Amino acid sequence: MSESKAGPNICVAPNICVAITGASGSPYAMRLIEVLLNSGCTVSVIISKAAQLVMATETEFKIPGQVRGQAEYLREHFQADETQLQVYGREDWMSPWASGSGRNGALVICPCSTGTLSAVATGASNNLIERAADVCLKERRQLILVPRETPFSTLHLQNMLTLSQMGAVILPASPGFYRQPENIEDLIDFVIARILNQLNIEHDLLPRWGE
């Protein structure tokens, strides 16, 4: 049997971790989880403490503080079971995402705060989100960071360059207008479509250019 020739930009297993940090843009994260589940992916979720606060400010979602409550809340909202959606705590070092030997796929940090961006660029690994990103980099797995900040400082840009040089994809939450969006959902789906393109997951959110 021949070995797979899939390159680093192909998500072979539909096993995706969505890490939500404290940058503005939590609607992107919730929509991404929804679309991934609808696509048949197994989704893991890690939510930072700051993300809980931001999400409560930006949306109607009131994410519980405890991991078990988070899992129940998200599974009920997305009508998913535990085989489809798992939630891990910020210090769950026994999570499969904390080790290179875990059976993992891609990690998407969406939205990605500039603090998380800095921590990942320097290999801080102070929590599971940072450690999971570090594992992706060292194992040459797919890592997508979705920053939502403006303007970017020189330090932010330097951190992005560092991560890009290590193989991460920097995908700013910058929706385009050439499809003439009619509502906020269209703007959100523009960014989600670009993330799915990177993950090599088929979707009908946005036609590809020229189609």
> Does 6 map to a domain?
no
- As a whole number of angstroms, the distance between CA 55 and CA 24 comes to 8
- Residue 10 has a pLDDT of 42
CA pair distance 135, 128, nearest whole angstrom:
10
Concatenated DSSP letters of 125-188: --SHHHHHHHHHHHTT--EEEEE--SSPPHHHHHHHHHHHHTT-EE-------TT---SHHHHH
The answer to whether residue 8 is domain-embedded is no
Which pLDDT tens digits describe the chain residue by residue (211 residues)? Answer: 333 333 444 444 479 999 999 999 999 999 999 999 999 999 999 999 999 999 999 999 989 999 999 999 999 999 999 999 999 999 999 999 999 988 788 999 999 999 999 999 999 999 999 999 999 999 999 999 999 999 999 999 999 999 999 999 999 999 999 889 999 999 999 999 999 999 999 998 987 777 7
Report the pLDDT value the prediction gives residue 145, as an integer from 0 to 100.
98
On whether residue 208 sits in a domain, the answer given is no
| Residue-level pLDDT at 14 | 78
What pLDDT shows up at residue 12?
Answer: 42
Q: Within a 10 A sphere around the Cβ of 38, how many other Cβ atoms?
A: 11
Residue 186 covered by a domain: yes
The total number of structural domains in the chain stands at 1
Using an 8 Å Cβ cutoff, are 7 and 94 in contact? no
DSSP 8-state symbol, 95: S
Residue 180 has which token pair? 């003439």
According to the model, what pLDDT value does residue 102 have? 84
Assigned domain for 161 exists? yes
Query: Residue 204 falls within a domain, yes or no?
Result: no
Nearest CA among 166, 87, 81, 91 for reference residue 130: 91
Domain containing residue 19: CATH number: 3.40.50.1950
User: What's the pLDDT at 23?
Assistant: 95
- Cis peptide before 151, with omega less than 30 degrees from 0? yes
Q: Within 13 Å, how many C-alpha atoms sit on residue 17's CB side? A: 30
Which residues constitute the domain of residue 107? Answer: 15-199
Q: Is residue 128 domain-resident?
A: yes
